[in-house]
Amino acid sequence: MHIPLSQVATALDARIDGNAELEITGAAEPAQCAADQLALAMSPKYAEGLAKGQARAAILYDGASREEFGLEAALFVARPRLAMAHLSKLFDPGPQIAPGIHPSAVVDPTAKIGEDARIGPLVVISANVTIGARARIAAHASIDHGATIGDDILMHSGARVGAGVTIGDRVILHYNSVVGGDGFAFVTPKPSSVEVVRATMGAETELEHQSWTRIHTLGTVVIGNDVELGSCSCIDRGTIRATVVGNGTKIDSQVQIGHNTTIGEDCLLCGQAGVAGSVQIGDRVVLAGKVGVNDNIFIGDDVVAGGGSNIVSNVPAGRVIFGYPAIKMTTHMETYKAMRRLPRLLKDVAALKKAVPNTDKND
Amino acid sequence: MHIPLSQVATALDARIDGNAELEITGAAEPAQCAADQLALAMSPKYAEGLAKGQARAAILYDGASREEFGLEAALFVARPRLAMAHLSKLFDPGPQIAPGIHPSAVVDPTAKIGEDARIGPLVVISANVTIGARARIAAHASIDHGATIGDDILMHSGARVGAGVTIGDRVILHYNSVVGGDGFAFVTPKPSSVEVVRATMGAETELEHQSWTRIHTLGTVVIGNDVELGSCSCIDRGTIRATVVGNGTKIDSQVQIGHNTTIGEDCLLCGQAGVAGSVQIGDRVVLAGKVGVNDNIFIGDDVVAGGGSNIVSNVPAGRVIFGYPAIKMTTHMETYKAMRRLPRLLKDVAALKKAVPNTDKND
Amino acid sequence: MHIPLSQVATALDARIDGNAELEITGAAEPAQCAADQLALAMSPKYAEGLAKGQARAAILYDGASREEFGLEAALFVARPRLAMAHLSKLFDPGPQIAPGIHPSAVVDPTAKIGEDARIGPLVVISANVTIGARARIAAHASIDHGATIGDDILMHSGARVGAGVTIGDRVILHYNSVVGGDGFAFVTPKPSSVEVVRATMGAETELEHQSWTRIHTLGTVVIGNDVELGSCSCIDRGTIRATVVGNGTKIDSQVQIGHNTTIGEDCLLCGQAGVAGSVQIGDRVVLAGKVGVNDNIFIGDDVVAGGGSNIVSNVPAGRVIFGYPAIKMTTHMETYKAMRRLPRLLKDVAALKKAVPNTDKND
């Protein structure tokens, strides 16, 4: 792929200085840059590497000049990270799946496959499945009966779509991800230890020995447009209604979303986050890596939860939280600093008790 | 599936009021209920939705009357959640796998397949595998040589059973779950940093640079009856003996169970829980979401661990625990409340130090 | 497999006492030992089991004698855990994959398959893939276009290797593991809530509603020699450069490694550990189970992080850390002990305030 810088500049909404006809084949960090690659030198620190590489063109930071680095051309952008998004899209060849349906795929005759869809080797598509136009489904992916999948979606190898699930357009399901596993819902004949603990906030009681009866999963999963689901991530179907993921929400690897949960639009759920069942999450919520969310709670729009937070109760819109259990981040930091002073505090109080006689009497 | 309410009432052990011959095709939340569905209105809050939906029959809460909601029939149950279990079982069609062995499956001629088993497309069954009667094995599942699988089991797509593993009856392995990966066990020629840290409780020493030698896994996994393993969950085989999961234990998605660990009967391990190697877990233990369990410890019967708890030492039977590290939940809450008062306490002690002269001398 | 004890002793670097020609077929715990198995009785506690089993030979602890346990032969080793490594290797038959390429595998004609490689049923190997000598690739594994895989590697069923990835020699990829998923990188047109929170350490601001634009992943993953990746573990490719895992590093199940991250040599990453993007990890670092590592930080050589630690900032070489957030383990223990004394401290300070009049004025 050879792309003239003028075209790159348009895609990146960049100002160009120098030879706009120079053709590039990709991008690289300055020190590793080949002569036909565009160097990513958006900060003085990165630009230092230009001397070590072969770059003839670079994206430079504000205030830098192409002459000082001996470049034939330079691009300048307002928001470097956004430029990266556009640039990377330009050069992403995407997965290589041959047009049509690979002869080794097992496609039920009742399945409807959209125009120009590409179905890779050993894919399994069950009865009454509908797949949109230009869908790309890689080797070993499977789609169970009655599922509906939108246009332009991409399923990587080993991704699983359960029966009856609905998935929107332009969705990406990464390797070995799962949409539509059964919910984890069980019940005992009489109240279980979990029910007792919740009702009593931790009191310990002797209970009859009981086994778990399965609550079967009759609901489904509905995923909007432009959603991404990372490798080995799992979304369970709802018990009766659907588990829902809104448009534009991005989910990283090894994330688990429980049954009946609703997630709004444009959220970010980072790696190993886990959301239990029947949770309501608003729009633009960010759960950093390893965040856990208790079942049956509500998280408002625009909440941001720091890495490893354990969210145990409702969170109002706009709140920034952190901790185990998660509280306002600023409160957490105040408490945490105080905690670090605890050993010193213990000494101070011991000294005070010596200095002030008879305090123990007042206990 | 059309089922008369009289039959539903029997399955749910419910009292019926009104037209017992009404036929239903499923269940739904009241507001979304179609005319041929049973509305789930087990609380006044849910019953409010009846007016918005089309339901002619509902499960109602104690004290409600079918007349007040204009229903043709109503069911009343003692324990609504248990009723849900029976009801959902009644309407679960299960996965659609055609009878017999799909021609695209690769089944070793030495494998013994039970009566009425259903083997889906592109399944791989290796040499000397035994599969029970009525087993259902979905597309892309694989069973390695010498494994034994019971009657009525269900393997979803991409589930993996390792060589020599033994699995009981009525077990469900969800999408991309793994039974029988190798244990994670390595050793260095001389004591490793981990060994030194454990022996010294955190002292930092300079150590020789060493590489890890693999301890190969010769043991297996033995899973009892009525066990469930969630999507992308993994159970490692034991080094010499077997890793064991007892009858009736339910395991959610993305749970990891280490080598040599023994888990008792009727336990619940919720999403993203992780149990290290050589752990002994009793019966009816509940590990909530994201709970971690250190290696080589003992957890007694009926222990309940709250979400995200980090269990680092033995836990006696019946204890309810929480925290990082996990302690008695009631103690955790007391300490936690005190911690929230810390910033105030620091101010109080500073004021006391001013008011009480010369306390620093006693330090 | 029948192996004379003399040969076992050589492999284990063990001293032998008694009949060196006795042949054994495997190893077992003393109480479960058959007559042709070697009992693992490396401590007095384990040796107690010898009376219950059938063992005629055992590995004994220093100071024990074979006569006292009625054994025909005994082995003595300097480091029992290391002996286990050698012994287990001796008896591990490895996975049974038939020689050659299974007729059901889909192998692109441009792929180069090394000498004596074994390709199992329904494996998919894409265009321009290179696979080393004696590689063993089990059922349902897939390798995308242009990937390069070394000699003697083992891929278990369902393991995924993405396009262009490079993997060294003797690497083991366990069931359903993933190398080369896309990085999780998105950007908003204007600063996102995450950027604001990071800049302000938790201040809450109202932001415009924005959607996420994808940063495509153009980089790759490079894995060294002798690396192991556990079941359902995932390594994301770098954005421009490669995500790197050094020689000899062992990764357990359900571990996630983010894009651009570099991990050194001979590290141990235990189950459910998660490393975000652009992290630099040194050599011989040990992350215990469920450890989380924030993006863009640096972890020096020989760091050991205790189970569930949440690492949010740079860690110097050799440090032993623990906690949420992770701090020096010894400091954590001191603070933690103090915290347990907090409820008592609150009472003491209340008593002091009563005993010392007018302290509130000084507030």
Chain B residues within an 8 Å CB radius of C349: 345, 348-349, 352
| Angle, alpha carbons B1-B6-B10 (nearest 5°) | 95
Task: Convert A131-180 into a string of H (helix), E (strand) and C (coil).
Answer: ECCCCEECCCCEECCCCEECCCCEECCCCEECCCCEECCCCEECCCCEEE
CATH architecture of C3-91: 3-Layer(aba) Sandwich (3.40)
Of C324, C339, C355, the CB nearest to A362: C355
pLDDT of A360 higher than 60: no
Of B206, B234, B351, the CB nearest to C254: B234
pLDDT band at B201 (very low <50, low <70, confident <90, very high): confident
Task: Work out the minimum CA distance from C112 to partner chain A, whole angstroms.
Answer: 18
Select the residue from C82, C229, C231 to test the B interface by mutation, using most B Cβ atoms within 10 A: C231
pLDDT in tens, B328-360: 999 999 988 888 888 888 888 889 888 887 665
pLDDT band at A363 (very low <50, low <70, confident <90, very high): very low
Both structure tokens of C252: 């357990």
Chain C residues within an 8 Å CB radius of A228: 214
Q: Is C156 on the interface with B (CB under 8 A)?
A: yes
Q: Do C140 and B144 touch (CB under 8 A)?
A: no
Chain C residues within an 8 Å CB radius of A268: 186, 194, 212
Chain B residues within an 8 Å CB radius of C156: 160, 181
Query: β-strands C320-322, C327-328: how paired?
Result: antiparallel
Query: β-strands B228-229, B37-41: how paired?
Result: unpaired
Tally the C-alpha atoms within 13 A of residue C156's C-alpha that lie toward its C-beta: 32
Length of chain B: 363
Task: Work out the minimum CA distance from B246 to partner chain A, whole angstroms.
Answer: 12
Task: Work out the minimum CA distance from A77 to partner chain B, whole angstroms.
Answer: 42
Chain C residues within an 8 Å CB radius of B346: none
**Percentage of residues in chain A having pLDDT higher than 70:** 98
Task: Work out the minimum CA distance from A197 to partner chain C, whole angstroms.
Answer: 23
Residue of C nearest to B187 (CA): C82
B residues 179-238 near A, CB within 8 Å?
226, 228, 230-232
Q: Count CB-CB contacts under 10 A for residue A52.
A: 12
C259 is catalytic: yes
At residue B95, the pLDDT reads 84
Task: Work out the minimum CA distance from A300 to partner chain C, whole angstroms.
Answer: 13
Q: Please, which residues have CB within 8 angstroms of residue B145's CB and are 6 or more apart in sequence?
A: B108, B126, B127, B128, B129, B163, B164, C96
Task: Work out the minimum CA distance from B71 to partner chain A, whole angstroms.
Answer: 21
Q: Do B362 and A348 touch (CB under 8 A)?
A: no
Q: Do B335 and C339 touch (CB under 8 A)?
A: yes
Calculate mean pLDDT across residues B9-30: 94
At residue C263, the pLDDT reads 98
Residue of C nearest to A265 (CA): C211
Of C289, C302, C363, the CB nearest to B276: C289
Chain C residues within an 8 Å CB radius of A174: 178, 181-182
Chain C residues within an 8 Å CB radius of A136: none
Select the residue from B175, B178, B346 to test the A interface by mutation, using most A Cβ atoms within 10 A: B175
Both structure tokens of B15: 């009292």
Task: Work out the minimum CA distance from B317 to partner chain C, whole angstroms.
Answer: 23
At residue B360, the pLDDT reads 57
pLDDT in tens, A25-61: 999 999 999 999 999 999 999 999 999 999 999 999 9
Asked if residues A296 and A280 have their Cβ atoms less than 8 Å apart, the reply is no
- The helix/strand/coil state of B250 is strand
**Percentage of residues in chain B having pLDDT higher than 90:** 84
Of A104, A157, A248, the CB nearest to C212: A248
In whole angstroms, give the CA distance from residue A138 to residue B343. 56
Of A142, A206, A234, the CB nearest to B253: A234
> Measuring CA to CA, how many Å separate B211 from each of A271, B81, B186, C79, C230?
29, 53, 9, 15, 18
A residues 32-91 near B, CB within 8 Å?
none
pLDDT of B224 higher than 70: yes
Q: Break chain C into its structural domains and give their ranges.
A: 3-91
pLDDT of A361 higher than 70: no
Asked if residues C262 and C247 have their Cβ atoms less than 8 Å apart, the reply is no
pLDDT band at A359 (very low <50, low <70, confident <90, very high): low
Among residues C117, C95, C106, C235, which one has the least CA distance to residue C177? C235
At residue C362, the pLDDT reads 45
In whole angstroms, give the CA distance from residue A90 to residue A135. 20
Asked if residues C74 and C59 have their Cβ atoms less than 8 Å apart, the reply is yes
At residue B109, the pLDDT reads 97
Scan for tokens 């996990």, then name that residue.
B326
Q: Do B158 and C174 touch (CB under 8 A)?
A: no
Tally the C-alpha atoms within 13 A of residue B113's C-alpha that lie toward its C-beta: 22
Q: Is B284 on the interface with A (CB under 8 A)?
A: yes
Q: Is C243 on the interface with A (CB under 8 A)?
A: no
Task: Work out the minimum CA distance from B238 to partner chain A, whole angstroms.
Answer: 24
Chain A residues within an 8 Å CB radius of B26: 218
Hey, which chains touch B, using 3+ CB pairs under 8 Å?
A: A, C
Helices A329-340 and A342-355: angle between axes, nearest 10 degrees: 50
In whole angstroms, give the CA distance from residue A162 to residue A166. 9
At residue B362, the pLDDT reads 45
Of A106, A193, A325, the CB nearest to B304: A193
Residue with the bigger pLDDT between B207 and A77: it is A77
pLDDT in tens, B93-152: 888 899 999 999 999 999 999 999 999 999 999 999 999 999 999 999 999 999 999 999
Q: Is B347 on the interface with C (CB under 8 A)?
A: yes
Q: Transcribe C134-159 into DSSP letters.
A: T-EE-TT-EE-TT-EE-TT-EE-TT-
Q: Do A342 and B342 touch (CB under 8 A)?
A: yes
ipTM rounded to 2 decimals: 0.94
Asked if residues A18 and A57 have their Cβ atoms less than 8 Å apart, the reply is yes
Chain B residues within an 8 Å CB radius of C346: 338, 341, 345
Instruction: Please tell me which residue in C140, C156, C259, C332 is annotated as part of the active site.
Output: C259
Both structure tokens of B41: 């209105």
Among residues B239, B214, B218, which one has the least CA distance to residue C91? B218
| Angle, alpha carbons B266-B269-B275 (nearest 5°) | 115
Helix or strand (DSSP H, E) at A305: strand A304-305
Asked if residues B245 and B261 have their Cβ atoms less than 8 Å apart, the reply is no
Length of chain C: 363
Hey, which chains touch A, using 3+ CB pairs under 8 Å?
A: B, C
Q: Do C88 and B215 touch (CB under 8 A)?
A: yes
At residue C338, the pLDDT reads 87
pLDDT band at A357 (very low <50, low <70, confident <90, very high): confident
| Angle, alpha carbons C144-C283-C268 (nearest 5°) | 65
Calculate mean pLDDT across residues B64-87: 94
Both structure tokens of A11: 């895609």
Hey, which chains touch C, using 3+ CB pairs under 8 Å?
A: A, B
pLDDT band at A338 (very low <50, low <70, confident <90, very high): confident
- Residues of chain C with pLDDT below 50 are 362-363
Chain B residues within an 8 Å CB radius of A312: 307
Of A86, A139, A304, the CB nearest to C124: A139
Torsion angle (degrees, nearest 10) of CA C11, C14, C20, C22 = -60
Cα R_g (chain B), whole angstroms: 27
Helices B329-340 and A329-340: angle between axes, nearest 10 degrees: 90
Of B102, B253, B307, the CB nearest to A181: B253
Among residues C126, C128, C164, C148, which one has the least CA distance to residue C241? C164
At residue C360, the pLDDT reads 57
